[in-house]
A and B are shown apart, each in its own frame.
Chain A
Amino acid sequence: MRKFASTFTLLAAALLSWSCDRGGAYPNRPVTIICPWSAGGGTDGLSRQMGIFLEEKLKAPFNVINETGGEGVTGHSTGALAAPDGYTLTMMTAELNMLHWRRMTPIDCSHFRTLMVLNCEPAAIIVPADSPWKTVGDLEEAIGKNPGKLKASGTAKGGTWHLAFAGWLAKAGLPISAVKWIPTRGASPSLQELMAKNLDLVCCSLPEAQALIQGGNLKGLGVMSDERIKGFDNVKTFKEQGVDWSLVGWRALGVPIDTPVEVIDTLMNALRDIVGSDEFASFMKTGNYNVSIREGDEARETLDSMDAEMGKLLSMPEFKDLEKSGYSKDTYPAILGCALLLLLSTLALRSRKQEPAAPAGSPSWKGPAAVCLAALGYAVLAPIAGFILTAGLLLFLLFLFLGNRAVKSLVLAAAISCLVYLVFATWLRVDLPRQFIEW
């Protein structure tokens, strides 16, 4: 047993000496890139690739975390409110221009220092290939003749593509309610509904529908940009078709507004090198990203003008009404609540009729209480004391509680917590809390 104890002391000493090097220039520890959208989407792909490029340039791990939910509220808020030390980057998207107008979050562009706009995706209108409409004008006429009959989607109500579509309707002098907008989770499910003939048109970016357009299932009626999109050369712009309307979604890397200048300079230099490289160009080409590099004032102007456009659209009285219309958020929980009450009352009636169930034996509450305390203790202590110490302490106390001998508990606790850290934090890059002991 002595031997175990001395091995443990040695191990701990080695770990401590390992972990002391915390000084040095930025970046000297892993950097997080927050992606507000889920894994597998376009924003995620761009975030991950930028992570790889930055990691190569700055010689520190750049890990992507998908902070999804709330139409981008979660990811953007987490990114804006992170410590302004350059260790949290955010892949900002066009939703940042809209969420604050819809009062979903106070966070807007002013909370970020925009490093660089990387990519712009113009909205486009996509219909089945056998649709009778050939131009945007045909569609406008059809909508005018059958107000409220046609069904469209592309994203949730009030999402970028919905605003792009609504903006065009407003430009054409049609009420926004002239087309029924079915809320969906994004381009993929919308295209699925379009293929299943449950929608008449979809508004999303052209690359999102590439496979179906090239396969001859769907066609683009028009794209809301100043120029045609590479790879979709036969889809005319709205301007070419006599409609002065354009709207693009954008993606940009940003850091919290108070980030120190030295850190920003380091990042900017790395980013300039990256976007100038052949690897970047070929990645953007194969990934179907429409490259549009803007930095400094130019980037700010792009974002601010988009913000103003969104503000104009979203403060239209029609739009406000639209947000309220449809089925309320309480419809579904209310139905479930009724089902719950019904089931509980049926079960209560039944158990009264039947003889009472055999008692399962009165449990001892000490063990479960220890488990709860341990888990809650971990949640409180880990951010302060770091993973290894907290996990070690948790294991040690529980081992003791379950009747293991003290030395055995100590050695096992130390070994297991270090092993778990090694596997999760070092190999799998889970961002476990790092304090005191880390490597």
Chain B
Amino acid sequence: MNPGPIETAFTNVFLNLDVLLVIFAAAAYGIFMGAVPGLTATMAVALLIPLTYFMDTTSALAAVVTLVASAIFAGDIPNTLLRIPGTPSSAAYTDDAYALTLQGRHQAALGVSLVFSVAGGIFGTLVLIFLARPLASLATSFSSFEYFWLYLLGLSCAALVSRGSSLKGALALVIGLLISTIGLSAVHSEPRFTFGVPQLLKGIEFIPAMIGLFGISEVLRNMSGSAGLGAIPAGQMTEADRGGAIRSTFEPALQTLTGRIFHFLRSSSIGSLIGMLPGAGADIAAWVSKAVSKRFSSKPDEYGKGSLEAIADSTAANNSALAGAWVPALVFGIPGDSVTALVIGVLTMHHVTPGPAIFENQGELVYSIYAMFLVANLFLLPLGFLAIRAGGLLIRIPRPVLLPCILLFCIVGSYAIRNSTLDIVVMLLMGLLGFFLERRQVPLGPVVLGIILGGPLEEKFIQSLTSSDGKIAAFFSRPAAAVLGIACLALWVSPLLLRKKTRPGETAE
């Protein structure tokens, strides 16, 4: 790396008022889009694309980079305050974050989210800067076998770390996977479980499902009278606010960060690695990181019941995964997720062809992208803080006013994804499902991940079976696949072995 392009790139970004303004505006827009359930980062970027054609390349990319980073963080706001994950990558720690809100500690929860999002984002950028090229070749060595195991690993983590027994976690997972089989499958394009309803051919969209499972089920629970209808207890609110807004938001976060530097590095590395694989992303990263975190935690019992550690480790992973997704996109033109697919479109519009040569031909641009990631994350700190303050007003609204508004937002959010009234019905059904599952202490996170990854899992499974002529041994024949496969199996077998040792304590579940 010669200093020439890096220097110009950094001055292009840091000392260019236009670019800084674009980043500021995109961060505000991203926070809004991420905070409203049903509006996703992908949608935000898609709406922005037509505008980017009229910007110069640096500004256009700055807008996209910032938008995504801020939207993923902002998803934590409704996740914490209303128990509706703003984006699927927040679903890994919904239970923890909302439990803290009920204890009146939402400031602490969101402060940890914000600080670890920013720190994770910066870590991910550093990985992008130093390791993009060597790691990109790793990403392309993943075939359908490796992906099959990776998806299964992500799903297993979700089932095993959720609140309650791992059996119930597995049940939730299978329910989610079964829901994902509705519609035409990508492999066979034959209708399954559609009952002759043409709109069901598209399958169950995960956004309405997620809004229903978490948001509507919480509205139902509140309205069923088993939870009080008042606002959050006022005494706890003032206690949280007493130390000043900035202190009560950032103090717990900084304490968590200084005490857990090693854990943070581990979580962010997991995030970067998983984010880099095309087709895996921030949501898998968050779950895997949480599982690893719980496995090595001194307080694993708190996970799912309001653990700041769980939030910190998952959110660091999902934000560091974002920068990772740019590695295969820049180096091979293979998009890691739907956002980077749109990014490749923006790049070609601006006469930039992604590919291994991009580092030689467009070095300056690549370094600008790195610089943008850094600036975007730094902007996120103050803007995110303001968003947390604004969001905090939400829970002061008395529930008799708030609940109908949440219902309306859930309806509009579900509808907005593809303008389908059926999605509103899907959302309601999922809400009822979530309501009943919760009463039986079945966790909801694995259901959501099951719905999201069910299709890709089936696809890779059938692809692998087809290419190996149905031989199961082939699933372990490639070295990387064997490692992932054994890790995955070990994950399921180890709790059984551990349980035998600690059988007397088992009834504690």
Name A residues whose Cβ lies closer than 8 Å to a Cβ of B.
38-41, 44-45, 48-49, 51-52, 65-71, 73-74, 77, 104, 151, 156-158, 180, 182-185, 188-189, 191-193, 195-198, 210-212, 214-217, 283, 286-288, 326-333, 336-337, 339-340, 343-344, 346-347, 350, 354, 357, 360-361, 363-368, 370-372, 374-376, 378-379, 382-383, 391, 394-395, 398-399, 402-404, 412, 416-417, 420, 424, 428-432
**Those of B394-448 within 8 Å (CB) of chain A:** 399-401, 403-405, 407-409, 411-412, 415-416, 418-419, 421, 424-425, 427-428, 431-432, 435, 439, 441
Say how far B297's CB is from chain A's closest CB, in angstroms: 26
Secondary structure of the B contact surface, majority rule: helix
Cβ contact of A372, chosen from B145, B355, B403, B428, cutoff 8 A: B428
Rank and list the top 9 A-B pairs by shortest CB-CB distance, nearest first: A367-B223, A211-B333, A40-B341, A198-B143, A69-B202, A402-B400, A398-B404, A211-B355, A363-B224
| Cβ-defined contact, A326 with B466, below 8 A | yes
**Those of B327-360 within 8 Å (CB) of chain A:** 332-335, 338-339, 341-342, 344-345, 348-351, 353-357
- Chain B's closest residue to A231 (CB) is B353
For A332, list chain B residues within 8 Å (CB): 181, 185, 458, 461-462
For A180, list chain B residues within 8 Å (CB): 466-467
- Chain B's closest residue to A214 (CB) is B355
Secondary structure of the A contact surface, majority rule: helix
| Cβ-defined contact, A361 with B226, below 8 A | yes
| Cβ-defined contact, A328 with B435, below 8 A | no
Q: Chain B, 215-248, contact with A by CB distance < 8 Å: what is the 0/1 string?
A: 0100110111110010000000000000000000
A71 CA / B187 CA spacing, docked (Å): 10
| Cβ-defined contact, A428 with B141, below 8 A | no
For A354, list chain B residues within 8 Å (CB): 507
- Chain A's closest residue to B343 (CB) is A40
| Cβ-defined contact, A379 with B425, below 8 A | yes
Q: What are 11 of the A-B contact pairs (CB < 8 Å)?
A: A39-B42, A44-B345, A67-B202, A211-B354, A211-B355, A215-B332, A286-B351, A332-B181, A333-B181, A343-B170, A375-B411
Known: A183-B462, A371-B216, A431-B419. A156 touches B223 (CB 8 A): no
A361 CA / B229 CA spacing, docked (Å): 16
Known: A68-B202, A192-B142, A368-B224. A211 touches B332 (CB 8 A): yes
Task: Give the interface size bracket for B toward A.
Answer: 35 or more
For A212, list chain B residues within 8 Å (CB): 332-334, 355
A433 CA / B441 CA spacing, docked (Å): 38
| Cβ-defined contact, B357 with A215, below 8 A | yes
| Cβ-defined contact, B189 with A40, below 8 A | no
- Chain A's closest residue to B146 (CB) is A196
| Cβ-defined contact, B353 with A217, below 8 A | no
For B439, list chain A residues within 8 Å (CB): 360
Cβ contact of A350, chosen from B167, B399, B404, cutoff 8 A: B167
Known: A371-B220, A378-B424. A337 touches B419 (CB 8 A): no
A156 CA / B50 CA spacing, docked (Å): 30
Stretch at the interface among B9-17, B19-27, B172-180: B172-180
B201 near A: Cβ within 8 Å?
A: yes
A301 CA / B192 CA spacing, docked (Å): 36
A329 CA / B184 CA spacing, docked (Å): 9
A156 CA / B178 CA spacing, docked (Å): 22
For B412, list chain A residues within 8 Å (CB): 391, 420, 424, 430, 432
Cβ contact of A399, chosen from B168, B348, B401, cutoff 8 A: B401
A420 CA / B190 CA spacing, docked (Å): 38
B144 near A: Cβ within 8 Å?
A: yes
For A197, list chain B residues within 8 Å (CB): 143
B30 near A: Cβ within 8 Å?
A: no
B265 near A: Cβ within 8 Å?
A: no
For B170, list chain A residues within 8 Å (CB): 339, 343
Cβ contact of A395, chosen from B354, B357, B408, cutoff 8 A: B408
Known: A331-B462, A364-B224. A399 touches B400 (CB 8 A): yes
* 4 other A-B residue contacts (CB within 8 Å) besides A367-B222, A375-B425, A398-B407: A38-B338, A332-B461, A371-B220, A378-B411
| Cβ-defined contact, A192 with B278, below 8 A | yes
**Those of B112-171 within 8 Å (CB) of chain A:** 140-146, 167-168, 170-171
B465 near A: Cβ within 8 Å?
A: yes
Known: A69-B203, A156-B186. A41 touches B174 (CB 8 A): no
Name B residues whose Cβ lies closer than 8 Å to a Cβ of A.
39, 42, 46-47, 49-50, 53, 140-146, 167-168, 170-171, 174-175, 177-178, 181, 183-190, 192-193, 198, 201-203, 216, 219-220, 222-226, 229, 278-279, 332-335, 338-339, 341-342, 344-345, 348-351, 353-357, 399-401, 403-405, 407-409, 411-412, 415-416, 418-419, 421, 424-425, 427-428, 431-432, 435, 439, 441, 458-459, 461-463, 465-467, 470, 507
A370 CA / B216 CA spacing, docked (Å): 12
- Chain B's closest residue to A387 (CB) is B412
Say how far A238's CB is from chain B's closest CB, in angstroms: 25
| Cβ-defined contact, A183 with B463, below 8 A | yes
| Cβ-defined contact, B47 with A196, below 8 A | no
A347 CA / B170 CA spacing, docked (Å): 11
Known: A73-B184, A73-B201, A378-B424. A196 touches B142 (CB 8 A): yes
Say how far B63's CB is from chain A's closest CB, in angstroms: 16
For B403, list chain A residues within 8 Å (CB): 398, 402
- Chain B's closest residue to A337 (CB) is B178
Say how far A135's CB is from chain B's closest CB, in angstroms: 25
For A65, list chain B residues within 8 Å (CB): 418-419
| Cβ-defined contact, A198 with B467, below 8 A | yes
For A366, list chain B residues within 8 Å (CB): 223
For A67, list chain B residues within 8 Å (CB): 202, 418
Say how far B55's CB is from chain A's closest CB, in angstroms: 14
- Chain B's closest residue to A151 (CB) is B467
| Cβ-defined contact, B507 with A192, below 8 A | no
Known: A215-B355, A343-B167. A367 touches B342 (CB 8 A): no
Cβ contact of B467, chosen from A182, A363, A378, cutoff 8 A: A182
Known: A212-B333, A339-B174, A402-B404. A39 touches B341 (CB 8 A): yes
| Cβ-defined contact, B189 with A70, below 8 A | yes
A184 CA / B147 CA spacing, docked (Å): 13
Cβ contact of A428, chosen from B47, B229, B411, cutoff 8 A: B47
Say how far B172's CB is from chain A's closest CB, in angstroms: 10
- Chain A's closest residue to B346 (CB) is A45
A395 CA / B201 CA spacing, docked (Å): 32
A182 CA / B143 CA spacing, docked (Å): 12
Cβ contact of B333, chosen from A73, A210, A337, cutoff 8 A: A210
A326 CA / B53 CA spacing, docked (Å): 44
For B418, list chain A residues within 8 Å (CB): 65-67
For B181, list chain A residues within 8 Å (CB): 332-333, 336
Q: Name which of B46, B144, B408, B439 has the most chain A CB atoms within 10 A of its CB.
A: B408
For A283, list chain B residues within 8 Å (CB): 349
| Cβ-defined contact, A329 with B185, below 8 A | yes
For B463, list chain A residues within 8 Å (CB): 182-184, 193
- Chain A's closest residue to B186 (CB) is A185
| Cβ-defined contact, B183 with A183, below 8 A | no
For B186, list chain A residues within 8 Å (CB): 156, 183, 185
A336 CA / B155 CA spacing, docked (Å): 14
Cβ contact of B408, chosen from A39, A74, A420, cutoff 8 A: A420
For B143, list chain A residues within 8 Å (CB): 192-193, 196-198
Cβ contact of B338, chosen from A40, A51, A360, A398, cutoff 8 A: A40
Say how far B444's CB is from chain A's closest CB, in angstroms: 16
| Cβ-defined contact, B419 with A430, below 8 A | yes
| Cβ-defined contact, A183 with B187, below 8 A | yes
A412 CA / B171 CA spacing, docked (Å): 42
Say how far A40's CB is from chain B's closest CB, in angstroms: 3
A392 CA / B20 CA spacing, docked (Å): 40
For A44, list chain B residues within 8 Å (CB): 345
| Cβ-defined contact, A357 with B144, below 8 A | no
| Cβ-defined contact, B432 with A372, below 8 A | yes
A195 CA / B332 CA spacing, docked (Å): 10
